[in-house]
Chains A and B, each alone.
Chain A
Amino acid sequence: DTGVSQDPRHKITKRGQNVTFRCDPISEHNRLYWYRQTLGQGPEFLTYFQNEAQLEKSRLLSDRFSAERPKGSFSTLEIQRTEQGDSAMYLCASSFMNTEAFFGQGTRLTVV
């Protein structure tokens, strides 16, 4: 297992387009988290899954954002009708229950 994997690493999209990111967690981890990190800020929590259940969503996660984790394995984060304010690094992390969270390298989104 090579750790948490995110795809793509970079995404440039035009305002109004939809984008989807994928995260593959460490295989034995049952929890998966999405965070957003903007320039000069620490990561901010978006949502997390325990197995396939989405247990918590931040108020940052507007109606344009949706996340899934089918079968409790990989997860996708979709942003519909992207806005320039969505430009950020999207980080995925996984853990086994409340133990150490391991982070992926992130997907950098640029909305032009």
Chain B
Amino acid sequence: AQTVTQSQPEMSVQEAETVTLSCTYDTSESDYYLFWYKQPPSRQMILVIRQEAYKQQNATENRFSVNFQKAAKSFSLKISDSQLGDAAMYFCAYLNSGYSTLTFGKGTMLLVSP
């Protein structure tokens, strides 16, 4: 079974600074997808960024980028120029291409201070 581990229950960052959230996963598959989802308090979960395992190039979406290390099974999220609106719970998730259901980590709460 696939597992996703987020070892940082909570991270803090100041506005305009950069923060990196860690995620490792365990799988025997070679074809899969990885995601970072953001869940603000009392609001719905939204997709931040997606990475296909077959792509060597790291995905980027504006201030959000990932460091995907397939051999190490590591998938970290870097948030640049942090904003107060980035404060949320961030979940790393895995999707095996042969299946349809996401496996989530326990999440990292990101606190952003002015």
Contact = CB atoms under 8 A, between A and B. Distances in A.
B102 A48 contact: no
Instruction: Sort chain A's interface into a size bin.
Output: 20 to 34
Given A98-B95, A103-B45, A43 B102 contact: yes
B101 interface: yes
A41 B106 contact: yes
4 residue pairs, one from A and one from B, having the closest CB atoms: A42-B104, A103-B45, A45-B101, A105-B44
B67 interface: no
A45 B104 CA distance: 9
Contacts, number: 51
Interface of B: 4, 37, 42-47, 50, 91, 93, 95, 97, 100-107
A40 B44 contact: no
Interface of A: 3-4, 31, 33, 35, 40-45, 48, 50, 55-56, 91, 93, 98, 100-106
Given A42-B105, A43-B91, A100-B50, A48 B100 contact: yes
Nearest to B104: A42
A101 B45 CA distance: 10
A48 B95 CA distance: 14
